[in-house]
Amino acid sequence: MIKKIYGQHIFYFSVLTIVLSIVSLTIENSAEFLNELIIPFVCLFLILSVGISHGAMDNYKANKILKIYKINNKIIFYLIYTLISLLVIIFWFFFASLTLLFFLLVASYHFGREDTSFLNIGNSNFDQLFYLIKGSLIIFAPLFFHIDETLKIFQVLLINDEVLFFIKDQHWIVNICLGLGILGYLYFIFKKKFKDFEILILDLISILVLNFIFSPLIAFTIYFCFLHSIRHIISVSYELDKSSFSNGVKIFVKKALPLTVVTALLYLLAMLYLSNSYGLNNVIIKVIFIGLASLTFPHILLEYLIEKNEK
């Protein structure tokens, strides 16, 4: 049943990609105006709602860890989770290039693993490496198709000019990494002997089309919210109620809503603070990517600890 749901999801996501691409090409003349005034707010809204919600069950998942380590006070979890998030933000402002590099590596592995492991492919060391390679397509596709716009985002994120110049000057590295990302998909297709290959192929084509048609911010938002996040929500909802998926979704929404709202409010407070020093579009980019980094590290650490102890 769950495989069927995943299959339906990637089909609808592919249709969404096609429809949005056609709309974008149709209104190409006004796209620049939309990108400057409307699109950043739409992207922020989607990430603060759909995107963030897929990790909003971490406070419930924490119950497993607290039980394993025999910790009775849940406040300890919130303190550690918040501390890790704050440390990421602090490190970003002092060591932006290194923190971004580490974040991109972790995010690539996270995207590759969560977008693939539901196919029950395996968890050998070789698989772990190819999770990283496959997930890196999310990073290198925008650099390949829209390098100038992507480097502008990196610049807003306080990345050193020498690093930006190196990336642009050595574009062959981006080309090779893009090819490796595609190879990551092919590895899992061949490993499964073409079983469920249509899911991986539609994934690959959709991501390439999105990054070819849209700016990096739009392409990432569509992928993150409607492919990665929805796929994670499907997995969690199924775990919550294996007998009724629709009921599992209702339970997920109910449980995830409080933390999603709290996180969104923190994002908005950060925007108000940063708006005194930066332009609004730059503030949105900083809040989206640095905010996601601060949430990704504790989220992945929690997932790792749960998986390790369940094994």
As a whole-number percent, the residues of the chain with pLDDT over 70 amount to: 95
So what's the pLDDT on residue 58? Answer: 80
Strands (DSSP E) contained in the chain are none
So what's the pLDDT on residue 179? Answer: 95
The average confidence (pLDDT) of the chain is 87
Segment 6-11 mean pLDDT:
89
d(CA 300, CA 303): 5
So what's the pLDDT on residue 120? Answer: 67
- 119: exposed, middle or buried (C-beta count within 10 Å: 0-12, 13-18, 19+)? middle
Cβ–Cβ under 8 Å, residues 167 and 151? yes
Residue 36 clears pLDDT 80, i.e. is over it: no
Residue 31 clears pLDDT 60, i.e. is over it: no
So what's the pLDDT on residue 1? Answer: 66
Residue 106 clears pLDDT 80, i.e. is over it: yes
Q: Which of 99-108, 121-130, 241-250, 255-264 has the lowest average pLDDT?
A: 121-130
- 89: exposed, middle or buried (C-beta count within 10 Å: 0-12, 13-18, 19+)? middle
So what's the pLDDT on residue 30? Answer: 56
- Helices and strands, number each (H, E), in the chain: 17, 0
Residue 217 gets the label, from left (phi > 0), alpha (psi -120 to 50) or beta, of alpha
- Cα dihedral 6→300→100→146 (10° resolution): 0
272 contacts: CB under 8 Å, gap ≥ 6: none
Segment 34-48 mean pLDDT:
82
Segment 193-201 mean pLDDT:
84
Pairwise pLDDT comparison (217 vs 65), residue with the higher score: 217
Segment 206-216 mean pLDDT:
95
d(CA 72, CA 141): 45
Residue 80 clears pLDDT 60, i.e. is over it: yes
- Convert the pLDDT of each residue in 123-135 to its tens digit: 788 888 999 999 9
d(CA 114, CA 110): 6
- Convert the pLDDT of each residue in 269-308 to its tens digit: 999 988 888 888 889 999 999 999 998 888 888 888 877 7
Residue 127 CB neighbour total at 10 angstroms:
18
What is the chain's alpha carbon radius of gyration, rounded to the nearest angstrom? 19
So what's the pLDDT on residue 29? Answer: 60
Residue 16 clears pLDDT 90, i.e. is over it: yes
So what's the pLDDT on residue 148? Answer: 93
- Convert the pLDDT of each residue in 151-179 to its tens digit: 999 999 978 888 888 888 888 999 999 99
Q: Which of 27-36, 62-71, 191-200, 205-214 has the lowest average pLDDT?
A: 27-36
pTM to 2 decimals? 0.91
Residue 241 clears pLDDT 60, i.e. is over it: yes
Domain ranges of the chain: 2-310
So what's the pLDDT on residue 183? Answer: 95
